[in-house]
């Protein structure tokens, strides 16, 4: 069934997007407060380094994921395969980049490399 055939219009879409973004910010802020209370200062700093490195590396994939979802919605031929290929290829590159970054960070902060590399399973 084509989406173009449906006559669906979301009312107050800007308001709904704003409320959902506000909810996301509040939940993430609450999560950070919970994590900060449970970890020591050093562990919280290490957690911050890991999360910021993963967020930085995942940022680049958002560009083609946005375009792929648009082309899939428009029923473009090959969009699913191209998006899957680009995501898997970038996953390999991002994993290598994260391991290299984890090695440099482990040398800088004096922690074991395995603690930082175990996070690769979260990609």
What is the chain's pLDDT, residue by residue, as a tens digit (123 residues)? Answer: 455 566 666 677 788 889 999 999 999 999 999 999 998 888 888 888 888 888 888 888 888 888 888 888 888 888 888 888 988 999 899 888 888 888 888 888 877 777 777 777 665
Residue 10, SS3 per DSSP: coil
| DSSP 8-state secondary structure symbol assigned to residue 73 | H
Q: How far is CA 110 from CA 12, 47, 51, 57, in A?
A: 52, 15, 18, 23
């Amino acid at each position: 069934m084509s989406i173009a055939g449906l006559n669906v219009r979301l009312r107050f879409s800007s308001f709904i997007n704003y409320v959902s973004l506000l909810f996301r910010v509040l939940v993430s802020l609450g999560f950070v407060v919970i994590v900060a209370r449970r970890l020591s200062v050093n562990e919280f700093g290490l957690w911050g380094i890991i999360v910021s490195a993963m967020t930085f590396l995942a940022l680049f994939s958002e560009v083609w994921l946005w375009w792929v979802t648009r082309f899939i919605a428009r029923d473009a031929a090959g969009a699913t395969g191209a998006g899957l290929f680009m995501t898997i290829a970038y996953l390999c590159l991002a994993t290598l980049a994260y391991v290299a970054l984890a090695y440099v960070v482990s040398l800088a902060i004096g922690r074991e490399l395995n603690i930082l590399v175990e996070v690769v399973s979260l990609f």
